[in-house]
Amino acid sequence: MAELDQAQENQKSVKKYTIEHDRPNCIGCAACAAVAPDFWIMHEDGKSDIVGCKTRDDEWEELDVEEKDFRINKEAADSCPVNVIHLVNKETGEKII
Ligand code: SF4
């Protein structure tokens, strides 16, 4: 039983989505940080950062997140006026936004 519980816990914490931030094209409006402050912060250079992300060579930021964190980051992406926040389903490769 304990093993089953652990398996269910592991399943829940699978990082199913990747947030991608086209940071070079961010205009620094701060909408994402207002909508999802646990995931988005404003940097002193005026652009936003994903909290705890890694930065790619092309200066895009990426962070893998769990299913439970999808909705709030989808709201952040929807709030972005220049559409530089993207969400990708890691299993299917589908670009959701
Ligand atoms: S909502 Fe978009 S443009 Fe505005 S700070 Fe966030 S990523 Fe940048």
Edge-first strand listing for the sheet containing 54-55: 54-55, 61-66, 15-21, 85-89
Q: What's the gap in Å between 95 CA and the centre of ligand 1?
A: 18
Report whether pLDDT(37) > 80. Answer: yes
Ligand 1, atom 6, residue with closest C-alpha: 32
Q: Does the beta carbon of 65 sit less than 6 angstroms from any atom of ligand 1?
A: no
Give the span between the Cα atoms of 89 and 96, in whole angstroms: 7
Report whether pLDDT(1) > 80. Answer: no
Q: What's the gap in Å between 92 CA and the centre of ligand 1?
A: 26
Ligand 1, atom 2, residue with closest C-alpha: 80
| Level-2 CATH architecture, domain 14-89 | 2-Layer Sandwich (3.30)
Confidence of residue 13 (pLDDT cuts 50, 70, 90): confident
Q: Considering the entire predicted model, what is its pTM?
A: 0.89
Is 87:73 a contact under the CB 8 Å cutoff? yes
Average pLDDT, rounded, for the chain? 93
Report whether pLDDT(39) > 90. Answer: yes
Residue 74: the pLDDT is 98
